[in-house]
């Protein structure tokens, strides 16, 4: 095959970054220019040419060539679609996790780390993620959507010891740290907070107490223990929760989902932008719906992410909070759903018949 | 107006040109400083056409390759004149100040 044809085929492949209509109207002249500019014997596009064609093709997919803001809007849509898709993919990857520790596993850990404490019944959860202790089902999905989304959290196997601690709280913490370290756990610096405990209803004799939070991780298991120095008979002085760390598939699945979601976001935004270009009524309506979607999707992210970042730095975290929590979901799932409905309406408007625009208009 | 846009309009000021002709003319006008790549050129052509500054003129096929010619529109001529006047005013002001600077004793 002549080198010119090989080069033309490779240029044509790069032009797939442009929308099909544009390619039909302009590909021949662009390839002619590229071949005219290429020195004899070249068989491959240069990296600079390839980057330029990809960049220009992606811009062309947005339509509205004279617009100064369309790229910024596309970037907003692309990033948020990537973030949501990444979060969704990471949630799906959570399904590769082992179930939360069962009674036998929890009892072995508790007797190893907290010997001599009567931790009573071990409470095991029904699912990896729960809403008010129950798996997410069609029955309780309504409460998640209508304000209780923050209750959708990773579950934990829990146990607690009540009454007066048999030894001082400091000793419980010290022994637990020692045993955790000996057992191969990575132990994080304990967090100690002060408080007041009352022996009676009138709180005639308030007592200063301390609460120590101990966090450790071994493999895919995370231990959270809360040790209180309180001595009331009916209060819990030791509460322990065991739960799973994110499985290894979460990060690659999240990254892949984010990349695919971002690509889909750019392409779908570009399609809708080109379809609504030059349409006065439906184009304006689609733009307003798109703007509402962006506000409803971005607002929880902008409000939640900085708060969660501060929280993450302030306390020891053996594992990051799940990505959807960084996006304010499912706490703000109602906003997300309303935004999704607006986005679908905008896409519905975009799917309607359109006026012929450039490049056909330019060359016709 | 950015420099590549100004150069493209200037390249079309003395008659319709096809894509590769514009690239070569822009390189000549800028003394080789500005080399337009195909993607950048057609992004600019689409934008200028959408703004009504250029239009498709005619097509030719040379050695089996399509050459599509573009020309300045009335709006394009006006925009180029306005930008040229703006640049001339700036150049004149800069030259006057440089002359004044050079004439001052060291």
pLDDT (tens digit, 0 to 9) for every residue of chain A, 364 residues total?
577 889 999 999 999 999 999 999 999 999 999 999 998 888 899 999 999 999 999 999 999 999 989 999 999 999 999 999 999 999 999 999 999 999 999 999 999 999 888 888 899 999 999 998 899 888 888 888 887 888 999 999 999 988 888 888 889 999 999 999 999 999 999 888 887 777 667 777 777 888 899 999 999 999 999 998 877 777 888 999 999 999 999 999 999 999 999 999 999 999 999 999 888 888 899 999 999 999 999 999 999 999 999 999 888 889 899 999 999 999 999 999 999 999 999 999 999 876 555 554 455 4
CA atoms within 13 A on the CB side of A61: 22
Query: What does the alpha-carbon distance between residue A63 and residue A68 come to, in Å, rounded to a whole number?
Result: 11
Task: Note the helical H segments in A216-359.
Answer: 250-276, 281-314, 323-326, 333-350
Query: What does the alpha-carbon distance between residue B16 and residue B22 come to, in Å, rounded to a whole number?
Result: 9
DSSP annotation of A123: B
Q: Which residue has the higher pLDDT, B73 or A280?
A: B73
Nearest CA in chain A to B58: A363
B 7-36 residues with CB below 8 A of A?
18-20, 23
Query: What does the alpha-carbon distance between residue A100 and residue A157 come to, in Å, rounded to a whole number?
Result: 6
Query: How many CB atoms sit inside 10 A of residue A120's CB?
Result: 11
Query: What does the alpha-carbon distance between residue A314 and residue A90 come to, in Å, rounded to a whole number?
Result: 24
Instruction: Give Cα B13 distance to the centre of its chain.
Output: 8
Query: What does the alpha-carbon distance between residue A48 and residue A46 come to, in Å, rounded to a whole number?
Result: 5
H or E stretch including B71?
Answer: strand B65-72
Query: What does the alpha-carbon distance between residue A130 and residue A320 come to, in Å, rounded to a whole number?
Result: 18
Chain B interface test: which of A51, A64, A362, A364 (most B C-beta within 10 Å):
A362
DSSP annotation of A101: P
For tokens 């797939």, the residue is A16
CATH class label, B3-101: mainly alpha
Cβ distance of B49 and A59 shorter than 8 Å? no
Chain B interface test: which of A23, A32, A59, A62 (most B C-beta within 10 Å):
A32
Cβ distance of B23 and A65 shorter than 8 Å? no
Longest dimension (CA), chain A: 98
Cβ distance of A35 and B55 shorter than 8 Å? no
Chain A: nearest CA to B4, how far in angstroms?
A: 15
Query: What does the alpha-carbon distance between residue B82 and residue B77 come to, in Å, rounded to a whole number?
Result: 9
Question: Looking at beta carbons, which residues of chain A come within 8 Å of B41?
Answer: 33
| Residue A123 in tokens | 């409470």
- List all residues 6 or more positions away from B80 whose beta carbon is below 8 Å from its beta carbon: B6, B9, B10, B13, B72
Question: Looking at beta carbons, which residues of chain B come within 8 Å of A54?
Answer: 39
Instruction: Say if CB A29 and CB A14 are below 8 A apart.
Output: no
- CA distance between the termini of chain A: 33
For tokens 């967090």, the residue is A191
CA angle, corner A217, sides to A214 and A218, nearest 5? Answer: 140
Instruction: Say if CB B2 and CB B57 are below 8 A apart.
Output: no
Nearest CA in chain B to A277: B50
Question: Looking at beta carbons, which residues of chain A come within 8 Å of B45?
Answer: 362
Q: Report pLDDT for A168.
A: 87
Chain A: nearest CA to B98, how far in angstroms?
A: 36
Residue among B50, B65, B58 nearest B20 (CA): B65
Q: How many helices (H) and strands (E) does chain A have?
A: 12, 9
Cβ distance of B19 and A59 shorter than 8 Å? no
Query: What does the alpha-carbon distance between residue A175 and residue A114 come to, in Å, rounded to a whole number?
Result: 8
Sheet strands (E) in chain A:
129-131, 134-135, 152-154, 157-162, 186-187, 191-197, 207-218, 221-228, 236-244
Question: Looking at beta carbons, which residues of chain A come within 8 Å of B18?
Answer: 29, 33
β-bridge mates for residue A224, sequence order: A215, A241
| Residue B51 in tokens | 């703004």
Question: Looking at beta carbons, which residues of chain B come within 8 Å of A52?
Answer: 37-40
3-state secondary structure of A36: helix
For tokens 């209508």, the residue is A146
Instruction: Say if CB A23 and CB A60 are below 8 A apart.
Output: no
Report, in this order, helix, strand and coil percent for chain B, each rounded to 5.
60, 20, 25
């Amino acid at each position: 095959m002549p080198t010119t044809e090989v080069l033309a085929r490779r240029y044509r492949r790069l032009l797939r970054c442009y929308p099909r209509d544009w390619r039909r109207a302009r590909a021949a002249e662009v390839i002619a220019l590229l071949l005219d500019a290429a020195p004899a014997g070249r068989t491959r596009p240069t990296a600079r040419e390839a980057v330029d064609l990809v960049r220009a093709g992606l811009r062309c997919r947005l339509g509205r060539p004279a617009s100064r803001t369309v790229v910024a809007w596309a970037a907003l849509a692309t990033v948020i679609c990537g973030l949501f898709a990444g979060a969704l993919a990471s949630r799906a990857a959570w399904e590769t996790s082992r179930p939360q520790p069962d009674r036998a596993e929890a009892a072995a850990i508790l007797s190893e780390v907290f010997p001599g404490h009567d931790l009573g019944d071990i409470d095991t959860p029904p699912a990896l993620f729960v809403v008010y202790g129950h798996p997410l089902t069609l029955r309780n999905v309504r409460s998640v959507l209508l304000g209780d989304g923050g209750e959708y959290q990773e579950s934990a196997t829990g146990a607690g010891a009540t009454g007066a601690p048999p030894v001082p709280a400091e000793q419980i913490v010290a022994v637990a740290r020692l045993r955790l370290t000996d057992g191969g756990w990575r132990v994080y610096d304990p967090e100690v907070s002060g408080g007041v405990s009352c022996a009676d209803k009138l709180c005639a004799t308030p007592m200063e107490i301390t609460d120590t939070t101990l966090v450790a991780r071994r493999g895919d298991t995370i231990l959270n223990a809360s040790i209180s120095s309180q001595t009331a008979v009916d209060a819990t002085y030791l509460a322990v929760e065991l739960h799973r760390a994110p499985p290894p598939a979460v990060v690659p699945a999240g990254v892949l989902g984010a990349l695919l979601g971002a690509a889909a976001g750019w392409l779908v935004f570009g399609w809708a932008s080109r379809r609504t270009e030059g349409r006065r009524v439906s184009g304006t309506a689609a733009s307003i719906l798109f703007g509402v979607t962006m506000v409803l999707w971005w607002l929880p992210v902008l409000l939640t992410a900085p708060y969660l970042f501060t929280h993450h730095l302030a306390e020891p975290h053996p594992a990051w909070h799940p990505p959807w929590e960084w996006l304010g979901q499912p706490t703000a799932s109602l906003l997300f759903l309303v935004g999704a409905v607006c986005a679908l309406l905008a896409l519905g408007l975009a799917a309607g018949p359109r006026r012929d625009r450039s490049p056909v208009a330019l060359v016709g | 107006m950015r420099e590549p846009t100004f150069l493209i309009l200037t390249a079309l000021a003395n008659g319709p040109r096809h894509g590769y002709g514009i690239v070569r003319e822009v390189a000549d006008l800028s003394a080789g400083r500005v080399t337009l790549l195909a993607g950048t050129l057609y992004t600019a052509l689409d934008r200028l056409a959408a703004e009504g500054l250029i239009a498709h003129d005619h097509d030719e096929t040379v050695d089996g390759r399509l050459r599509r010619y573009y020309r300045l529109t009335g709006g394009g001529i006006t925009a180029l004149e306005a930008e040229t006047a703006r640049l001339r005013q700036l150049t004149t002001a800069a030259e006057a100040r440089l002359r004044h600077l050079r004439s001052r004793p060291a």
